[in-house]
Amino acid sequence: MTIMIMGGDGYIGWPLSMHLAVNKDESVVIVDKFLRRDWVTEVGSHSATPILLMKNRLRAFQQSFGKTIEFEHGDLRSYEFVYRIIKKHNPRAIVHLGEQPSAPYSMIDAEHAAFTQVNNVVGTLNILYAVHKVVPECHLVKLGTMGEYGTPNIDIPEGFFKIDYNGRRAELPFPKLANSFYHWSKVHDSGNIMFACKVWRLRSTDIMQGVVYGTKTNEIDEDERLLTRFDFDGVFGTVINRYCAQAVIGYTLTPYGKGGQKRGFIALGDSIQCLTLTIDNPPEAGEYRVFNQFDEVYSINELAENVSKVANRLGLNTDVVHVENPRIEPENHYYNPRHEKLRRLGFRPTYKLEEELEIMLEDLSKYKDRVIAKKHVIMPKIHWKA
């Protein structure tokens, strides 16, 4: 049997591929075109952690674990390519991580907005059609985002909710209030996947994932050759990554706006655990299901306080100064998403924020020169009003 990872060169895709290859008696196939590397270079940055070329990564993995991972190079926007590799490998599960993942990148200009939506929506449609034609029993695990929901002033269910209206009752997809052209591309993906499951009896799990943080997993351990990427720029770097990068080079931590924005967060190792559980527990034919995948909710102020606390404990003196918010978003809001389904499958969080922050800061300190070399890209330069 085979598990295929679309976007297997990425931050989550690479450690997930290694984890599955080590822990499953199945073939693992990575599919990638290395566009993430190109996009980060385009905005003037690089990964803080040094990452090898794919051929060298695969060789290092084999040397470390005595197992192999296959690789296919190509573009998910090409249906011919997607059809060919799915027919060749006949996967029992596909984990689709191969999309443009940055809200700021999608807001640069018309060209980047259109590229993001075409890249993401067309790639997903090609996978859906190829699965339908070749492997209709395959389980498609699609990485969405908690950002699809936005920040409504009510509790957020896992995908669907029951509503009474004018004396009628129905269970409907929860309304989406996405906050960038990137996040709207994910909403469009969700609608297309739900429709494909309905008309073709496909089976899919849509993962509404929170922000992922961390530098290590069991497979990465201490072998530098197996490191996953760590982006810290204002376009591809998450809020935790940017704070950690600022801390290791002695910069002020800079929450956007008032800092009350709340999001769900999950450690990299726990994300891998959740994705593995999802792969191993497929839905029924014709079923489209949604998992909200995160561990804890924090405001960006709370994250700044946590990073500052751990950094100061490590001798990295930091302070916190708020800067203008480049985004158009509520800065103080209600936020209470549900996340029970993965726990019912057996998910048990094993990583704590402060412990992971300490590891991240220690790891980044080793590559401080790489952060300093690109320090000018940490602060935001893309504004939603532009």
Q: Which residues are catalytic?
A: 145, 182, 186
Which DSSP string do the residues of 115-149 spell out, in sequence order? HHHHHHHHHHHHHHHHHHHH-TT-EEEEE--GGGT
> Where are any strands of DSSP class E within 146-225?
160-165, 168-173, 203-209, 211-213
- For residue 225, what is the DSSP state? G
- For residue 222, what is the DSSP state? T
Q: List the one residue out of 256, 351, 364 whose CA is nearest residue 304.
A: 256
Q: How far apart are CA 158 and CA 90, in angstroms?
A: 30
Among all chains, which residue has been given the structure tokens 């048990």? Answer: 348
**Close Cβ partners of 306 (under 8 Å, ≥ 6 residues apart):** 298, 353, 354, 357
Q: Are strands 160-165 and 168-173 parallel, antiparallel or unpaired?
A: antiparallel
Q: How far apart are CA 25 and CA 27, in angstroms?
A: 7
Q: List the one residue out of 234, 239, 241, 254 whose CA is nearest residue 319.
A: 254
